[in-house]
Amino acid sequence: MRIALLPGDGIGKDIVKQAVKVLDAVGKKYNCVFEYKEALIGGEAIDKVGTPLPQETIDICKESDAVLLGAVGGPKWDNLAGNLRPEAGLLGIRKALGVYANLRPAIVFPQLKDASTLKEEVLKDGIEIMIVRELTGGLYFGEKKRVQTEEGQKAWDTMVYTEKEIDRISRMSFEIARKRNRKLTLVDKSNVLESSRLWREVFTNIAKDYTDVAVDYMYVDNAAMQLVRNPKQFDVILTENTFGDILSDEAAMLTGSLGMLPSASLGDGKVGLYEPIHGSAPDIAGQNKANPIATIMSVAMMLRYSFNMLDAADDIEKAIVTILDKGYRTLDIMQEGMTAVGTEEMGDLIAGEIK
Ligand code: IPM
Ligand code: MG
């Protein structure tokens, strides 16, 4: 199994290294070989070859069976033009692989419920929400421009969606809901946005093919509120790109830390892209402080969705639970009475449980 590694910037290198340790442990246990090829993306690619997404990186990813990405970006590159920023590399690889569905599960581990800023009663009995974020359309990819007018500058971004784009991700979301608790909430702003009204129409039509799934509609402002008021009401949330970006950071805080949310990006092609939802955290990069769990959980998703290694995926998730049960915590989820460990130790501990 060929895996492209795109560590990227900031803590990207720290966390991808831990995920590879865990993959190697899986390889040993299941007697299979993971072959890694590292490639440049983001700020590091800008520094070394002058572009955030070199063609060579695209080629390496397309020739792989799956891609593991760390994070991109940092203050060093903040003043570059939009299409030359590290983030353009990330958007570019998502687009190049055609991974339009970004699955972001927010799981509250009982061991960490005190790490959340929410009251225990809101989180009790566990939370497991799946956010399905559209990843290759909307505001991120619509026409954007800046012009000079007589009254000063003017800039715009456009939120564009085609029926086809909504259709394919809606169907995928219904299929996902079918394998879970059969509840699917479409989050939009259809009281204001025309693109949202198209989402509702297309989605409602497809719902007729999935009468076994309970469907619900919610405006995004209300959804932001409901996520912290009563998160248990959600099973699967489907939403467009920008709303999904925002809501998934919010959902991460249910779990106590941004460092706990993995993601899988899938399309109709064969290559899946796996990455934690958090950013590059340049302030703690290279200091053995980052939480590698989101990336390690992303690897579990890779084993499940790209390699159909369901037992191995379960092994990783169980290993994480065991290590949390034993009281080990990285700084972001550290609490009184627990044992603080660094990035490397957390990686070693989780990998060590897979035998
Ligand atoms: C994410 C990140 C990215 C996004 C940034 C880094 C471009 O916030 O994956 O959620 O907005 O998609
Ligand atoms: Mg984000």
DSSP one-letter string for 227-273: HHH-GGG-SEEEE-HHHHHHHHHHHHHHTT-GGG---EEE-SSS-EE
Q: Say how many Å lie between the CA of residue 281 and the centre of ligand 2.
A: 12
pLDDT band at 320 (very low <50, low <70, confident <90, very high): very high
| Residue minimizing CA distance to atom 5 of ligand 1 | 87
Please indicate, yes or no, whether residues 334 and 303 belong to a single structural domain of this protein.
Answer: yes
Please indicate, yes or no, whether residues 65 and 159 belong to a single structural domain of this protein.
Answer: no
| CA 154 – CA 310 distance, rounded (Å) | 51
% of residues, the chain, pLDDT over 90? 94
Please indicate, yes or no, whether residues 162 and 95 belong to a single structural domain of this protein.
Answer: no
Give domain status of residue 75, yes or no: yes
Among 219, 239, 254, which residue terminates a domain? 254
pLDDT of residue 124: 84
Please indicate, yes or no, whether residues 126 and 163 belong to a single structural domain of this protein.
Answer: yes
pLDDT band at 269 (very low <50, low <70, confident <90, very high): confident
Give domain status of residue 110, yes or no: no
Q: Which residues line ligand 1 (CB under 6 A)?
A: 73, 87, 90, 245, 277, 279
Q: Say how many Å lie between the CA of residue 178 and the centre of ligand 1.
A: 28
Q: Kindly state the average pLDDT of the residues 132-140.
A: 98
| CA 84 – CA 87 distance, rounded (Å) | 8
Please indicate, yes or no, whether residues 141 and 164 belong to a single structural domain of this protein.
Answer: yes
Please indicate, yes or no, whether residues 123 and 238 belong to a single structural domain of this protein.
Answer: yes
Q: Say how many Å lie between the CA of residue 31 and the centre of ligand 1.
A: 35
pLDDT of residue 37: 98
Please indicate, yes or no, whether residues 31 and 138 belong to a single structural domain of this protein.
Answer: no
| Helical packing angle, 310-325 and 12-30, nearest 10° | 120
* Domain assignment of residue 179, given as a range: 117-254
Say if residue 304's pLDDT is above 90. yes
Report the phi/psi class of residue 29: left, alpha or beta, with left for phi > 0 and alpha for psi in -120 to 50: alpha
pLDDT band at 115 (very low <50, low <70, confident <90, very high): confident
* Domain tally, the chain: 2
Which of 245, 274, 315, 328 is flagged as catalytic? 245
Give domain status of residue 340, yes or no: yes
| CA 124 – CA 119 distance, rounded (Å) | 9
pLDDT of residue 114: 85
pLDDT band at 192 (very low <50, low <70, confident <90, very high): very high
pLDDT of residue 63: 98
Please indicate, yes or no, whether residues 263 and 250 belong to a single structural domain of this protein.
Answer: no
Q: Say how many Å lie between the CA of residue 245 and the centre of ligand 1.
A: 6
Annotated catalytic residue 249: yes
Give domain status of residue 109, yes or no: no
- Span 2-33, pLDDT tens digits: 999 999 999 999 999 999 999 999 999 999 99
Say if residue 126's pLDDT is above 90. no
Say if residue 125's pLDDT is above 90. no
Q: Kindly give, in sequence order, each residue whose CB lies less than 8 Å from that of residue 175, ignoring residues fewer than 6 positions away.
A: none
Give domain status of residue 111, yes or no: no
| Pocket probe mutation, ligand 1, options 41, 67, 87, 136, max atoms within 8 Å of Cβ | 87
pLDDT of residue 113: 84
Annotated catalytic residue 221: yes
- The CATH number linked to 64 is 3.40.718.10
Give domain status of residue 108, yes or no: no
Q: Kindly state the average pLDDT of the residues 198-208.
A: 98
Say if residue 248's pLDDT is above 90. yes
Annotated catalytic residue 245: yes
Among 228, 254, 280, which residue terminates a domain? 254
Look over the chain and give the mean of its residue pLDDT values, rounded to a whole number: 97
Please indicate, yes or no, whether residues 234 and 124 belong to a single structural domain of this protein.
Answer: yes
Please indicate, yes or no, whether residues 95 and 128 belong to a single structural domain of this protein.
Answer: no
Among 222, 254, 286, which residue terminates a domain? 254
Please indicate, yes or no, whether residues 267 and 228 belong to a single structural domain of this protein.
Answer: no
Please indicate, yes or no, whether residues 139 and 243 belong to a single structural domain of this protein.
Answer: yes
